[in-house]
Structure 1
Amino acid sequence: MNLPDSVLGSNWLLGFSSIFFGILLGYIFGGFLVPRLTKTLTKDKLDTNHPLYIALLSLVRFFFFILGSYAALRFLKLEVGTEEKVSLYLKVFSILVFTFALARIGSGALALYSSKTEGFLPTASILNNIVRMIILLTGGLVALQTLGISVTPALTALGVGGIAFALGLQETLSNLFAGLGVLLGKKVSVGDYISLETGEEGLVEDINWRTTSLQKRNGSTIIIPNAKMSKTTFTNYSLPNSGIWTEIEIILPLGKNTDQYESLIRKSAQISLSQIYGQNSYNDSKIKIRYLSLEPSSVSLAIHLPIKDIKDSDQIRSTFIKSLHSEFISEGFSNISAKIRN
């Protein structure tokens, strides 16, 4: 092997070694720096599976990989024209890599901030998608500019064709802005339990750029376009309130003292509430009884049972009816009917 071949071989060896050590340092420093960096930024230890932690770890590793790649380019000593082209492509590649990494960091930081501010900033994929789109679009424009492609004509064309674009995606844009309106209005958030005017109810799973998804109690999912969601009437059981309750209507036969009926009803209500929430969770004054109607042979009552969460209503109703049935049977009452009302 002559001297030039030996030098060329050593340059390639140094180049590959630079990339290898860049990757190795990325893994070493990533495991060392990221936990300390996240603790400094969040004032708390961040779980290693959190999107922000993973995004920062990827950023550190890509940084050392790019650093090793630039060092390898210097060791290879390519021809001037070839080196300029490779350097340009490496620069564009670096911009794209860091753009994707920053998009993930922005999304993870938004999720973390939303969880720490307790509803000050809503948590939903629509906001994460918007943050990612803005960062990716900015990075893409920078990459094009780096390649020498002027972005000014593209932006001008986008402005001219914006009207046609908006008309073509009118429904999509309508759902996007309606979703933002619903979310930023803070009348409904991910995790809230709501009931629609159509009678459907469920837990808000997500609000994305097009639809709102509700998980029903049976595990199925309701998909509602955001534009429709912004116009419909719904009840949000998760908003702050002075107390919510579930109502059960009971039809009782005449012939017994109503005070005796009320005593058994209140006793059954206390038993059911104690089973769900513990002893002395609610005092007797929280249990409301209203007389609705009087018939020749019966009287109708409505019992309001206080609940802490709307999701407890089915369990409370079932426990109450079972307890009330036992109490009436023990007293020798019959011909009792109960009807659940929302």
Structure 2
Amino acid sequence: MTELLDNPWVQRLGFVFGGFVLGVLLEFVIIRRIHKLAEQTRFKWDDMLIGSIRGVGTIWLVAGGLYLALNVGALDPLLVNTTRSVLMVIVLGSAVIAVMRVVGGAVEMVSGRAGGTIKSPTLVVNLARIAVGVLGLFIILQNLGIDITALITALGIGGIAIALALQDTLGNLFAGVQIILSRQVRQGNYICLSSGEEGWVTDVKGRNTTIQTFPDGNLVTVPNSLLASSIVKNFSMPRKALWVTLEVGVSYDSDLEHVEVVALEVAKEVLGEVDGGVPGEDPIVRYHTFGDSSINFDMRMMVREFQSQGPVKHEFIKRLHQRFNDEGIEIPFPIRTVMMEGGGESTVEGG
């Protein structure tokens, strides 16, 4: 038994197996228990950190067992040095991946805290992870003894050719960065482009921005360069609440003071009872046109957000129509008198 334990290969296998067992215990017992405890707290950062480092500890413990195994007995120096270099790359690579996860998660957490339930744009998260990954790659190469300066110089020369070949892709990438940094268009905003596309911004990616149309819910993909150069109407800024305007016409025989009182009463009633209305903002009536068959006015009401205007308009039109009927206020039809050849005439309503 003693001779078996003194065997170098048995000792090496023991170190490797021991590292593997410790890694399994760490991953499936300790970290799992810590993760369950973290889920019970209201603090979200601990969940993100634990999720980011899962699997890394196991890799390190197994790599540590392999490293100790290399120090047992005599082995080929070339094999030892090569294996140590591979282990170093694995350990540093797993650390870089963990940091990339943490940085990406931190960006999403900070964005979520600042903007509610809206996640950070995919482009921002990916750029943060890429930056950490590139830095980690340089650290690994430096530890392997590779001249980073020469590599950067070569990449700089090659980058010119790549940039020329990928002009459209890079243009969309920089346009996406510009969109995010300007903060004029954000995820969750309802926008309308000068080209006609409109809807909610769902994500800003490296090449394009996705917009969910309303009310059909389809996804429209808009290149970032096109979005950055378009005239954009943002219905969600500077605040989500917005004024909704409805044009109404009443007969020339109507008492305009009475019409105004009735319209304001109906509008206040709708804003107070319909979900999406803003009862704290008084509605406004403004007469503006002597029409062909009616005196026209705008009814302005404030709603909580863009999608609230549909229900508010719907209910206001129904209630105003009923109230005008009850009050004897006429909403006139357009009337046209057509002179017939030979002296006859015909009166047409609604045309």
Structure 1 length-normalised TM: 0.82
| 1:19 corresponds to | 20
In structure 2, give the amino acid aligned to 1:298: S
Among 290, 306, 310, the alignment partner of 2:306 is: 310
Residue 270 of structure 2 aligns with which residue? 272
Of residues 160, 163, 171 in structure 2, which corresponds to 1:163? 160
Pairwise CA distance, 1:219:
1.3
Q: Which sections of structure 1, spanning at least 5 residues, go unmatched?
A: 338-342
Q: 69-78 or 159-168: which moved more? A: 69-78
Q: CA deviation at 1:321?
A: 1.0
Q: 1:336 and 1:196, CA in 2 relative to 1: closer, same or farther beyond 3 A? A: farther
Q: Which residue of 2 aligns with 1:86?
A: 83
Instruction: Quote how far apart the aligned CAs of 1:63 are.
Output: 3.8
Alignment partner of 2:223 out of 222, 225, 228: 225
- C-alpha displacement at 1:69, in angstroms? 4.1
Q: Which among 91, 107, 112 is matched to residue 109 of structure 2?
A: 112
Q: Give 1:235 deviation, angstroms.
A: 2.2
Aligned length: 329
1:328 is the counterpart of 2:324:
yes
Residue 315 of structure 1 aligns to which amino acid in structure 2?
Answer: P
Q: CA 1:190–1:246 in 2, change beyond 3 Å: closer, same or farther?
A: same
Q: Tell me the distance in 1 between the aligned counterparts of 2:237 and 2:73.
A: 64
Give matches, 1:236-315, under 5 Å: 236-241=234-239, 244-277=242-275, 281-282=279-280, 286-315=282-311
Letter in 2 for 1:107: G
Deviation at residue 117 of structure 1 after TM alignment: 4.2
CA–CA distance in structure 1, aligned partners of residues 73 and 35 of structure 2: 32
- Structure 2 matches for 1:132-171, cutoff 5 A? 132-171=129-168
Seen in structure 2, the aligned counterparts of structure 1 residues 24 and 271 have a Cα distance that, compared at 3 Å, is same
What is aligned with 1:30?
A: 31
Mean Cα deviation higher: 191-200 or 130-139: 191-200
Amino acid aligned to 2:251? P
* 8 Å contact from structure 1 (residues 29, 60) kept in 2: no
The SS at the match of 1:21 is helix
Q: Displacement, 1:150?
A: 3.4
Higher deviation after alignment, 274-283 or 93-102: 274-283
CA apart distance, 1:325? 2.0
Equivalent-residue separation in structure 1 for 2:34 and 2:75 (angstroms): 34
Q: 1:82 to 1:279 in 2, by over 3 A?
A: closer
> Does the residue aligned with 1:45 lie in a helix, a strand or coil?
coil
Q: Which has the larger radius of gyration?
A: 2
- Which residue of 196, 209, 215 corresponds with 2:212? 215
Contact 2:173 2:206 (8 Å CA) reproduced: yes
8 Å contact 1:214–1:223 — kept in the other structure?
A: yes
Distance in 2 separating the partners of 1:267 and 1:65:
75
Aligned to 1:172: 169
Counterpart position of 2:125: 128
Please state whether the residue corresponding to 1:161 is helix, strand or coil: helix
User: What is the distance in 2 between the residues matched to 1:330 and 1:247?
Assistant: 24
1:295 partner letter: G
Would you say the 8 A contact 1:123–1:189 is kept in 2?
no
Q: Distance in 2 between matches of 1:12 and 1:128?
A: 41
- 1:340 alignment counterpart: none
Of stretches 109-118 and 213-222 in structure 1, the one that deviates more from structure 2 is 109-118
Q: Which structure ranks higher in relative contact order (CA pairs < 8 Å, sequence separation ≥ 6)? A: 1
Measured at CA, do residues 77 and 245 of structure 1 come closer, stay the same or move farther in structure 2, by a change above 3 Å?
Answer: farther
Q: Which amino acid aligns with 1:158?
A: L
Give the letter for the 1:225 counterpart: P
Q: For residues 290 and 89 of structure 2, what CA distance do their matches in structure 1 show? A: 81
Structure 2 counterpart of 1:204, which letter?
V
- Structure 2 SS opposite 1:134: helix
Work out the CA distance in 1 between the residues paired with 2:75 and 2:332. 94
CA contact (8 A) 1:271 1:323 kept: no
Aligned CA-pair RMSD? 3.4
The residue number in structure 1 matching 2:343 is none
Confirm or deny: 8 A CA contact 1:210 1:226 kept in the other structure. Answer: yes
Structure 2 stretches of 5 or more lacking a match? Answer: 334-351
Answer yes or no: is the 8 Å Cα contact 1:193–1:237 preserved in 2.
yes
